[in-house]
Amino acid sequence: MVGGAVRDELLGKEVGEWDLATDAKPSKVEQILHQRTKKIGLIGKRFGTVTADLNGNQVEITTFRGESYEEHSRKPVVKFGTSIDEDLSRRDFTINAIAYDLRFKRILDSSYGERDLKAKVIRAVGNPESRFREDPLRMLRAIRFAVTLDFEIEPNTFEAIKLERERFAILSAERVAQEMDKILLSSKPSRGIDLLVDSGLINYVLPELIPCIDLEFDPAEHKDIYGHILQVLDQTPDKLELRWCAILHDIAKPLTRQKIGGEYHFLGHEVVGARLTKDILRRLKYANEFVDYLSKLVYLHQRIPNNDGLWTNGAVRRFVRDAGSTLDDLFVFATSDSTGANERKLEKYKKMRSELQERIVELEKQAEIAKIHSPLDGEELMAMFHRPAGIWIKPIKEHLLQLVLDGKLAQEDKDAAEQIARQLMRD
């Protein structure tokens, strides 16, 4: 038994996947497994790895390896090894280079990983620069393990990250995104972002965050925008969409900052931020659905804080329609985004959020807001005016919809809607 399975067992954590190493070649491993299960995965077979479901446990079995890496690629050139010592010596960190011999019931730990587990230290196996040169993703994994395990990165290992960080540029966006998700979902994600900044890896992961550092914000509340972002990040529930929103919601403030009447303002930062969000997440190869959802969250994140308590029912309905599936997350995020030392102001914002939620609940009892539409659709308007489809339809439908949202026209009153439409055409 090797790697994360041993590490988590020694830490008393639940093991999600069991990793085994063997001198048996992949074809032999597959032959042995066929005697025990039909649930066998061969996707990684050419790299020496066979997976299987054994009695409900996910098991990954890898032939002993000694690997070399091409200079401009992180994909290993697989060379099968013959001993567990060689296999362990190629691993990333000492805490992941511990093996447990299942036959003789003994720990194999030539890199002193158990010692580092007890000391709560992330230390590269052997020469840290060589480890990161072989596979630059290990630099990000070091930060991820430090944050998720609440360990410290050993100084020489951290210094090697700084020295080898340019190698980070060869990594695939998908692998970077996977590690970032794990960092953001940790119990103290701000620490992970700080380590990315201190190591310089932020330049390759999220360079748009750099201008927020030391950019004057509101001296009475926060030293800089970066400090506010980190506070919001730690206050946000551990849902991936919300954590990414926390990192990105104010990303455009450096681009929109203006000093008006002695105070800083960031007019339209949510609009610019929504565009930046799409650029950033597409660069990291996230799914289009995720990108669109996050962009919408960032675009709308100011709506609830900007509520002055004077919104008409029509304005509330429009907000609910605009928010759509993001509504619940917007309210959760608005709470997380409420920071600062002024307790009176924080309490005021909290009360206004509660009142807005109560109004929405009440209005939803009166009508299913999401289903509100113009009393006349495009087909009906074309038939009424004997005109083909065209841009003339949209303003009529939108005008009728606004009347419905404002409670001035019943959605089912087609006769009244027709009179209004005809008047619009005459005008």
Q: Which of 157, 127, 130, 155 minimizes the C-alpha distance to 142?
A: 157
Q: Which of 282, 280, 316, 319 minimizes the C-alpha distance to 301?
A: 319
How far is residue 176 from each of residues 50, 69, 203, 286, measured CA to CA in Å? 24, 18, 13, 11
Look at residue 313 in the predicted model and tell me its pLDDT.
86
Q: Could you tell me which residues come within 8 angstroms of residue 217 by beta carbon, excluding any fewer than 6 positions away? A: 223, 224, 225, 227, 228, 253, 264
Longest dimension (CA), the chain: 92
Ranges for all domains in the chain classified under CATH 1.10.110.30: 4-23+64-203
Q: H-type helices in 2-136, by residue range? A: 4-11, 26-33, 84-89, 113-119, 128-134
Look at residue 314 in the predicted model and tell me its pLDDT.
87
Please give the class, per CATH, of domain 4-23+64-203.
mainly alpha
pLDDT in tens, 160-206: 999 999 999 899 999 999 999 999 999 999 999 999 999 999 999 99
Whether pTM > 0.85 for this model: the answer is no
Look at residue 251 in the predicted model and tell me its pLDDT.
95
Q: H-type helices in 83-170, by residue range? A: 84-89, 113-119, 128-134, 137-149, 155-164
Look at residue 26 in the predicted model and tell me its pLDDT.
86
Look at residue 370 in the predicted model and tell me its pLDDT.
66
Output the CA angle 238-290-298, nearest 5 degrees: 75
Look at residue 43 in the predicted model and tell me its pLDDT.
78
pLDDT in tens, 382-401: 999 999 999 999 999 999 99
Q: Which of 125, 145, 150 minimizes the C-alpha distance to 135?
A: 125
Which residues of the chain fall short of a pLDDT of 70? 66-78, 217-223, 340-342, 365-370
Ranges for all domains in the chain classified under CATH 1.10.3210: 207-370
Tell the CATH topology of 207-370.
Hypothetical protein af1432 (1.10.3210)
